[in-house]
Amino acid sequence: MNLIQQLALELEIRPEQVERTIKLFDEGNTMPFIARYRKEVTGGLDEEQLRSLEERLSYLRNLEARKEEVLRIIGEQDKLTPELEEAIKGAVILQEVEDYYRPFRPKRRTRATIAKEKGLEPLAEIMIKQELTVGDRRLIAQPYINPELGVDDPEQAIAGARDIIAEQISDNADWRKIIREYLWGNALLSSELKEETPEAAVYRQYHNYSEPVKKIPPHRVLAINRGEKEGYLKAGLQIESSQLLLRLQALVLTNPGNIFADDLKTATEDSLNRLLLPSIEREIRTKLTEAGEEQAIKVFALNLRQLLLQPPIRGKIVMGIDPGFRTGCKVVVVDEIGRVKEATTIFPHLPQNEWEKAKQTLTSLIQKNSVDLIASGNGTAGRETEELVAQVLLDLDRQVYYSIVSEAGASVYSASKLAREELPDFDVSMRGAISIARRLQDPLAELVKIEPKAIGVGQYQHDVNQNNLDQTLTGVIESCVNYVGVDLNTASASLLQNVAGIGPSLARSIVTHRENNGPFKRREELLKVKRLGNHTYTQSAGFLRLPEGEYSLENTGIHPESYHIAEELLASLGYNSNDLKTPLQLEEIRKKLKTLNLEETALHLKTGLPTLKDIVEGLCRPGRDPREEMPGPVFRRDVKTMDDLKPDMILNGVVRNVVDFGAFIDIGVEQDGLVHISQLSEKFVRHPMEVVSVGQSVKVRVLSIEAERKRISLSMKDVD
């Protein structure tokens, strides 16, 4: 089966879709561009399908490259048989290739290599052939005695030969596969606490714990790994190996009547216990870990996407507060587009306790600047500061609301070079408050400035492969930015660098060009930017918006290559692109577009149906921000504490994080509550993400409160 056919079969798509998409990848087209503007070529593959195709393509190409390398190395050793070559070429996973290569790869000094150095390999070959059924095994071993090399008697020679045979058994690809499959199907992953200490209490549930390898959930694997790494847990595979040993001995011992039968049984047992089981246990633990990491990264990516796509709060003056105790609370007021109007520090908490003074300061800033909303951080002193804000709002003569905003990553941004460049007149602590305020105004524009793994909406993100995590999260940011679109004249370099094809260097060049030459009036002016060529323009143009530009189509997701189709479509309705700027005419255009027979129109305009559908959507909703259709943040005026909670109380909350075992909900007290997966729905839930997502508003019922452990158990059952 060739590469294209295999990918088509695996991904359940047509071979021609695979072939055309691979060509697009190889030509250097970006994922967002292919997903949005090459639907006719790919047969309508969505971004998730494209990423799956890209990942499998990379794996299979690496597999083929590794096969070629292994075949070359074995061939150079003059040990490549036709059967081995066929087996390697037919391997479908890297593990199979490595199993076939195992006997031929350079080895560190082992018991087997030492035995070979003593000249015992010919004896091992005689033993493994099992041709001798009569005679004295000691006499057969006699010629291999060599005191100078440390072989003083026949038993030492036979023992050395057994070491060679044990390694040969361990290196046999077919037998390794049998052992691996047996362990995968029958082994338990077990763990126990090394000692009962207060620090180890978090891992108490994993004391005397065991679960089948084939069933253990990914998050439990990562929890056990972390406990091992921190020195609190001892973990490993448990297996009843007696049946496995008998099975392996039967494979090795093809002639039970040979004179070395007992030695072969001993060598097999030694190979199983000393070489095979430890080696394959490491492989299985690695496989479990990789599956756990893949799931953790997937959860983080989905949560991050939901967080980035929280709707912006436009046209509001926002007060941002970065809470703190000893160093005070940093307070800023930013205008409708995020420019800082005022900044100060208040000290309402210990040790200063200037509560009333802080209230007066906040009240004055709110009234003076006509503040509409308050964004307060959820870090240290967050709930105490929330109580302060709630008191201030109750005394105001107009409606002002506050929202709790996650501070995750704010300190990382505040200390970054980017923050110093953007906010040179403010110290590190004040930059945090500015970031919090701006996060409420436009989460995407602000969060792209932060290293994605610092945003903290995942599980075990610090325990997974950091390169894989970075790559995945960078892809999520790129996807979100291009899905929403970017205002070419107001976007920061941090935002622009995530637009398809641009990157950090060109993003800085675009900003510099904008500063030196004024706002862009047309998308095509991008070609005047230093080092920005036709390829980059093609990749990026459709994702860049010009709300105040000269040409109204450039405030849509319609790509410049399709402008002529859009204009022809409008002309057929009796309009042109300028009419999109007039609300009355825009409404008329929308009504007429809804009556079109798209299949017939696509044929008339000589374009593909997917492209026409995108053009129609762009014409109906110029300037559309898809985030506006998402549920917005929850705003409050009052505050609760854990002491206010009672079992069966029904509360409104916001999903802050989704993990494999449930969801953490902000219900307006100092501690997020947990809705366990079993409490998410009356129906069976395979994964919490089937039911909830980050930022979603939910109604929950309090199950229990453990104040001393700061634990709140919640349910989403029976809440209506």
Over the stretch 105-125, which tens digit does the pLDDT of each residue have? 998 899 999 999 999 999 999
Alpha-carbon distance of 384 to 405, in angstroms, equals 14
The DSSP result for 568-588, as a single string, is HHHHHTT--GGGGGSHHHHHH
Alpha-carbon distance of 490 to 682, in angstroms, equals 47
Please indicate, yes or no, whether the overall pTM of this predicted structure exceeds 0.85.
Answer: yes
Alpha-carbon distance of 270 to 275, in angstroms, equals 7
Alpha-carbon distance of 174 to 184, in angstroms, equals 15
Contacts 24+ apart (CB under 8 A), 335-340: 336/441, 337/490, 338/434, 338/437, 338/438, 338/441, 338/442, 340/423, 340/426, 340/434
Alpha-carbon distance of 663 to 670, in angstroms, equals 16
Q: Give mean pLDDT, residues 644-668.
A: 91
Per the CB < 8 A criterion, the answer to whether 97 and 127 are in contact is no
Q: Give mean pLDDT, residues 678-707.
A: 93
DSSP-assigned letter for residue 274:
I
**pLDDT value of residue 671:** 86
Q: At residue 652, what is the residue type? A: N
**pLDDT value of residue 630:** 78
Q: Which CATH number fits domain 642-715: 2.40.50.140, 3.90.1150.10, 1.20.1260.10, 1.10.3860.10?
A: 2.40.50.140
State CA 138 to chain mean position distance: 61
Q: In what order do the strands lie in the sheet with 188-193?
A: 209-212, 188-193, 233-238
**pLDDT value of residue 1:** 59
**pLDDT value of residue 641:** 79
On average, the pLDDT of the chain sits at 94
Alpha-carbon distance of 119 to 426, in angstroms, equals 76
E strand spans, 371-473: 373-377, 401-405
Confidence of residue 628 (pLDDT cuts 50, 70, 90): confident
**Smallest Cα–Cα separation from 438: which of 381, 511, 495, 397?**
495
Look up the CATH number of domain 111-296.
1.10.3500.10
Alpha-carbon torsion, ordered 63, 66, 67, 71, to 10 deg: 180
pLDDT at 213 over 70: yes
Confidence of residue 368 (pLDDT cuts 50, 70, 90): very high
Most distant pair of Cα atoms in the chain: their distance: 108
Confidence of residue 586 (pLDDT cuts 50, 70, 90): very high
**pLDDT value of residue 635:** 81
Alpha-carbon distance of 182 to 244, in angstroms, equals 8
pLDDT at 634 over 80: no
State CA 649 to chain mean position distance: 35
Name which residue leads in pLDDT, 676 or 710. Answer: 676
Provide the percentage of residues in the chain whose pLDDT is more than 70: 100
* pLDDT, tens only, 165-188: 999 999 999 999 999 999 999 999
Per DSSP, the three-state class of 413 is: helix
Helix/strand/coil (H, E, C) string of 2-47?
A: CHHHHHHHHHCCCHHHHHHHHHHHHCCCCHHHHHHHCHHHHCCCCH
**pLDDT value of residue 373:** 97
* pLDDT, tens only, 274-318: 999 999 999 999 999 999 999 999 999 999 999 999 999 999 999
CA distances from 91 to 3, 10, 86, 170 (A): 13, 16, 9, 19
Phi then psi dihedrals of residue 402, to 5 deg: -125, 160
Residues 6+ apart with CB under 8 A from 431: 413, 414, 419, 423
CA distances from 6 to 15, 49, 64 (A): 9, 15, 13
Per DSSP, the three-state class of 392 is: helix
Per DSSP, the three-state class of 229 is: helix
Residues 6+ apart with CB under 8 A from 5: 15
Q: Work out the burial of residue 133: count CB atoms within 10 Å of its CB; fewer than 13 is exposed, 13-18 middle, 19 or more buried.
A: exposed
Helix/strand/coil (H, E, C) string of 677-718?
A: HHHCCCCCCCCHHHCCCCCCEEEEEEEEEECCCCEEEEECCC
What class is the 3-104 domain? mainly alpha
Q: At residue 115, what is the residue type? A: A
**pLDDT value of residue 685:** 95
**pLDDT value of residue 639:** 67
Cα angle value 506/508/512 (rounded, 5°) = 115
Tokens of residue 370, six digits:
């006509």
Where are the domains positioned within the chain? 3-104, 111-296, 642-715
Alpha-carbon distance of 241 to 252, in angstroms, equals 16
pLDDT at 535 over 80: yes
**pLDDT value of residue 632:** 78
Per the CB < 8 A criterion, the answer to whether 6 and 21 are in contact is no
* Gyration radius from the chain CA atoms: 33
**Smallest Cα–Cα separation from 715: which of 667, 669, 680?**
680
* pLDDT, tens only, 473-487: 999 999 999 999 999
Task: Count the helices and strands in the chain (H runs, E runs).
Answer: 30, 15
Per the CB < 8 A criterion, the answer to whether 669 and 641 are in contact is yes
**Smallest Cα–Cα separation from 350: which of 376, 391, 380, 321?**
380
A 10 A CB-CB count for 672 gives: 19
Q: Which residues of 264-279 are buried (b: 16+ CB within 10 A; e: fewer)?
A: bbbbbebbbeebbbee
pLDDT at 406 over 90: no
Phi then psi dihedrals of residue 460, to 5 deg: 55, 35
Q: Give mean pLDDT, residues 522-551.
A: 97
Beta-bridge partner residues of 713: 674, 704
